[in-house]
């Protein structure tokens, strides 16, 4: 069976990256309760992963009974303990009930995070039993296709310390920086091309097991473009920023994903 066909049938994953929102725990709780309810209604078709500010993680996780929603840390450190002011280890994230961690989000890369940092974080996540969501994507495109080289480098270095046979445990979130926070998402056809490229690069480095790696698209995802991206973009799910911090917007988006 073609990968496209399998991807179209499988359960989709939607990661809600709340970033540095909302401003109080009271509001975070309200947002979470609404999103949990929307997720529970669609739990058979969509896996919803909430990435709240770390400060809210444990308290929000304590509100969940059953598996309607999972949690992600927005960032983790690669060391397991020590003198790293302001950081959070993978073990601490796990202890607060995160099952996933974003690694190398564009906003962290813009603040100085490197491919080598991502490499160490991906390996630390896998070692601690967290699923790393390795975020990649170029800042701009040119006619020569330089973005493919850029993305290849992000993938090669970011996954260089993934133990043999473990690449299937990774999630890759392709987020072109020019689409994050923008008015429009990338065209699904271009995502399809990129998904093929990502699988090829990972398979070259890690073998055939990489062909089934989970790929997400992120950047200006909302209810108007989600279904087309899932149908034509060759992706297994979506990484959502703005549309995840308004409960009603997120509910409509999840419904669009479930109905695709």
User: Can you give the binding site for ligand PGA, defined by CB under 6 A?
Assistant: 17, 175, 180-181, 218-221, 239-243
Q: Could you give the CA distance from residue 46 to residue 12 in angstroms, rounded to a whole number? A: 5
Q: Could you give the CA distance from residue 78 to residue 121 in angstroms, rounded to a whole number? A: 5
- Least CB distance to ligand PGA at residue 1 (A): 30
35, 107, 138, 175: which is the annotated catalytic residue? Answer: 175
Q: Is 138 a catalytic residue?
A: no
- Least CB distance to ligand PGA at residue 241 (A): 2
Q: Is 105 a catalytic residue?
A: yes
- Least CB distance to ligand PGA at residue 208 (A): 29
**Which residue in the block uniquely carries the two structure tokens 């973005």?**
147
105, 113, 138, 206: which is the annotated catalytic residue? Answer: 105
For ligand PGA, the closer of residues 58 and 242 by Cβ is 242
- Least CB distance to ligand PGA at residue 77 (A): 20
For ligand PGA, the closer of residues 167 and 180 by Cβ is 180
Chain position whose Cβ is nearest to ligand PGA: 241
For ligand PGA, the closer of residues 21 and 115 by Cβ is 21
What is the crossing angle of helices 115-128 and 146-158, to 10°? 40
Pairing of strands 131-136, 100-103: parallel
For ligand PGA, the closer of residues 60 and 243 by Cβ is 243
Alpha-carbon Rg of the chain, whole angstroms? Answer: 17
Q: Could you give the CA distance from residue 168 to residue 115 in angstroms, rounded to a whole number? A: 20
- Least CB distance to ligand PGA at residue 180 (A): 4
For ligand PGA, the closer of residues 76 and 243 by Cβ is 243
Instruction: Write out the catalytic residue numbers.
Output: 105, 175
């Amino acid at each position: 069976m073609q990968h496209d066909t399998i991807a179209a049938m499988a359960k989709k994953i939607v990661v809600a990256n709340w970033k540095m929102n909302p401003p109080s725990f009271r509001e975070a709780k309200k947002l979470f309760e609404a999103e949990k309810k929307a997720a529970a209604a669609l739990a058979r078709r969509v896996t919803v992963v909430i990435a709240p500010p770390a400060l809210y993680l444990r308290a929000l996780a304590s509100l969940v009974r059953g598996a309607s929603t999972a949690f992600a840390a927005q960032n983790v450190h690669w060391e397991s303990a020590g003198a790293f002011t302001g950081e959070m280890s993978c073990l601490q994230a796990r202890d607060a009930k995160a099952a996933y961690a974003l690694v190398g989000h564009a906003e962290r890369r813009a603040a100085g995070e490197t491919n080598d940092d991502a490499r160490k974080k991906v390996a630390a996540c896998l070692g601690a039993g967290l699923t790393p969501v390795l975020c990649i994507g170029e800042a701009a495109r040119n006619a020569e296709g330089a973005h493919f080289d850029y993305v290849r480098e992000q993938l090669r270095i970011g996954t260089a310390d993934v133990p043999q046979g473990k690449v299937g445990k990774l999630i890759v979130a392709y987020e072109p920086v020019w689409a994050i926070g923008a008015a429009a998402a990338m065209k699904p056809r271009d995502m399809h091309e990129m998904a093929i490229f990502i699988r090829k690069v990972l398979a070259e480095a890690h073998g055939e097991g990489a062909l089934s790696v989970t790929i997400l698209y992120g950047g200006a995802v909302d209810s108007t473009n989600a279904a087309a991206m899932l149908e034509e973009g060759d992706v297994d799910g979506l990484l959502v920023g703005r549309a995840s911090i308004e409960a009603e917007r997120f509910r409509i988006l999840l419904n669009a994903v479930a109905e695709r």
